[in-house]
Amino acid sequence: MTTVSILPEEVVAHILGFLGLPDRKSASLVCRNWLQAARHPALMRDVVVDAGSCLSGAAAASSSGSILPPEWKPLVRSLALGSHTSSSKSSFALSWRQLADTLDGCHRLVSVDLSGCDGLCLARDLLSDQSQRRHLRDQLVGVRHLSLAGLTRLTATGLKRFVDLFTNLKSLNLRCCSLVCSSSVAIGSMADASVLTFAAVLDVVRRCGIEELDLSCTDVTDSALEQLAKVDSLHLRGIALDSCRLLEGRGLARLVASQRGSLRRLSLAKNRHLQTVGPQPATADQLTELLAPGCSNFISDRLLIASSSSLTVLDISDCGRVSEGALTTALTAARQLRSLAVARCSAFTDAAVTESLTSSDEGSLRMLEHLDASSCAGFTDVGLRLICGHLGQSLRSLRLAWLRGVTDWGLLCLPQPKSKDAEQCSTSSTSWLLSKSGRRGEQFPHYKRAVDVGEPKYNPPSYNELKSLLSRSVDNSEAAIGPNYSLLSLRRLRLLDLSNCSKVTGIGLDEIFPSSQFPFPDLEELHLQGNRHVQDSHLFNLASGAPSLRQLHLSGSVGVSDKGLVAIVSRCHRLRSLGLANCDGITDAGLQHLAADSLHYVDLSFCSRVSQAGLDQLARRAPRIAEMRGLWTGTELTGN
């Protein structure tokens, strides 16, 4: 008997609590004692049980019966019964009797997700049994979050019956529901049985004391938000109004002004018609999360500066009207900022980064964990060096897609040449190195001539060789900043996006993916779309150094072949998403190795050496692949 097997269940559960969810799942398969410890209530708080996939087969054939095993019911805290795949068949298979039988006994539930379950709205006797509703209500007193997103057939009567089951409900998600905000439709009218009125939503908010409300992708209007602002004892902590095409800003201004002191999260993504009439800067100082990508007419300099001191999450992607000075002031004052998205924002420049990171305030941006600087034309190697040097201990996610100002020199923290060849170097590091010698075969041992082909073949030098070559032609007055200011210093990085960075060549990739001492051991998501310098050797090193990889996107990497694909699939056992579009080195033979249990998404569009027969065979051999993009047309196929 081993030492671990005699430990009490509480001790084993405490040890498993230091592991991530994937590692905890693997540990639960070791023995029965570890399985019981992994199901400890303290470890089930971050587990979301997705029972929507269980609606196929025998469960879907029967209109009654629980789709959740009985031993799981006392443990589950978050339950998802909706559809999370491209196919909506499972959504309509769930009946109201299955819902009632599944919820019966789940007395620890905190969150219930019924997204896309439109079949529940078609039942005439939806939870009409009073005794059954009373029994479920007594067991579901702990549920605080309910998601009805995507229920396009949801009516006011159906909403009331759903909400009546959860007496302590505080969060309601009605995203993509068919909401009617006309003032001519009143609550209690005959329309309640056919449409979802905003008056019914107001009644639910008033009775339950809703604190978080999601009305994204609905036809909510400014007048409707004005009515919401007039609700007595309303204390909203978060509201999401993404892609609400009828909003102009007047109603939003009054709603935010009425919730000053309580509102913490405001999401307004893709509301291009929203104007700057609200919220006023005086009412924005309490916001901790401001998500307004694409709202160029809404985000003003005054609003950004006023809300910066309390913000922890800021997303102003595609907001072109923000000035560089206002963004610099906001970033300097952002002591608690953890997530920053400024994609396609011209105000995010090297000067803004330098001012915010080197200011006297030691707390500015030092807690930043996620940064999205994609397509920021003013962000170059200079800003990248400062980001890596000052945020090396905190940064977890870094997106640098479509940055022409980021080169190999910035990634490796080497000084650019001061000679006349500097312009040539900034265009291509490889061509600059080759142009430094007249007799390439002697001075550059990596340069070899292929006799049979008659064309030169270049193997890029290593990092140390590159530094020795640079020392002959770089002005010594500008020395390298040091290894602590390079991308390699971000040891805790979990997401890296270098898609379509045209000046990142094989020299930089060789150091990012070395054969030994992989710099990013916790890497889970990697994007290298459009980089033609990715080779199989990079994938070999990636597979060895990042076994926790979950998403890999290599679209347009012509140097990737079946060998690299086999290395990734065979070693990265948690890989869920794999993008290989326009990878001409992938063939039908390589697809035979994609039958991994963890793989759910594969993109093989425009792979010239992959046939339709190979895709069909992959769909039959790997039924767990929920979405597979096929040849040439990118058609979505289902592997069921």
Q: Give the number of other Cβ atoms within 10 Å of residue 327's Cβ.
A: 26
Using DSSP, how many helices (H) and how many strands (E) does the chain show? 25, 24
CA distance 257 to 263: 9
Nearest to 76 by CA among 41, 101, 104, 52: 41
Tokens of 291: 């998500």
Is residue 378 situated within a structural domain? yes
Same structural domain, 583 and 496: no
Strands (E), 292-350: 313-315, 339-341
Is residue 571 situated within a structural domain? yes
Query: Torsion-angle region of residue 155: left (phi > 0), alpha (psi -120 to 50) or beta?
Result: beta
Tokens of 173: 């998600």
pLDDT of residue 2: 57
| Cis peptide leading into residue 417 (ω within 30°) | no
pLDDT of residue 361: 55
Same structural domain, 601 and 491: no
Same structural domain, 367 and 393: yes
CA distance 490 to 369: 11
Same structural domain, 494 and 550: no
Same structural domain, 496 and 365: yes
Is residue 402 situated within a structural domain? yes
Same structural domain, 520 and 497: no
First to last CA, the chain: 44
Is residue 210 situated within a structural domain? no
Same structural domain, 395 and 497: yes
Contact residues for 312 (Cβ-Cβ < 8 A; gap 6+): 288, 289, 336, 337, 338, 339
Same structural domain, 573 and 492: no
Q: Which residues of the chain have pLDDT under 50?
A: 1, 56-63, 84-92, 278-279, 418-463, 466-467, 469-481, 633-640
Domain count, the chain: 2
Question: For the segment 626-639, what is each residue's pLDDT rounded down to a tens digit?
Answer: 788 876 644 444 44
Is residue 329 situated within a structural domain? yes
pLDDT of residue 444: 35
pLDDT of residue 272: 81
pLDDT of residue 478: 40
Structural domain harbouring 528 = 505-639
- Strand-pair partners of 488: none
Is residue 577 situated within a structural domain? yes
pLDDT of residue 76: 85
Q: At what angle do helices 198-208 and 222-229 cross, to 10 degrees?
A: 20
pLDDT of residue 226: 92
- Strand-pair partners of 239: 213, 266
What residue type is 390 in one-letter code?
Answer: H
Same structural domain, 339 and 361: yes
Contact residues for 240 (Cβ-Cβ < 8 A; gap 6+): 175, 213, 214, 215, 216, 265, 267
Q: Which helix (H) or strand (E) holds 12?
A: helix 9-16
The residue whose two tokens read 């047309």 is 633
| Residue 119 · residue 96 · CB < 8 Å | no
Supply the CATH number for residue 329's domain: 3.80.10.10
| Residue 330 · residue 305 · CB < 8 Å | yes
Same structural domain, 532 and 405: no
Is residue 12 situated within a structural domain? no
Is residue 590 situated within a structural domain? yes
Same structural domain, 557 and 577: yes
pLDDT of residue 379: 94
Nearest to 156 by CA among 131, 180, 124: 180
| Residue 89 · residue 57 · CB < 8 Å | no
**Using only C-alpha atoms, what is the Rg of the chain?**
28
Same structural domain, 393 and 493: yes
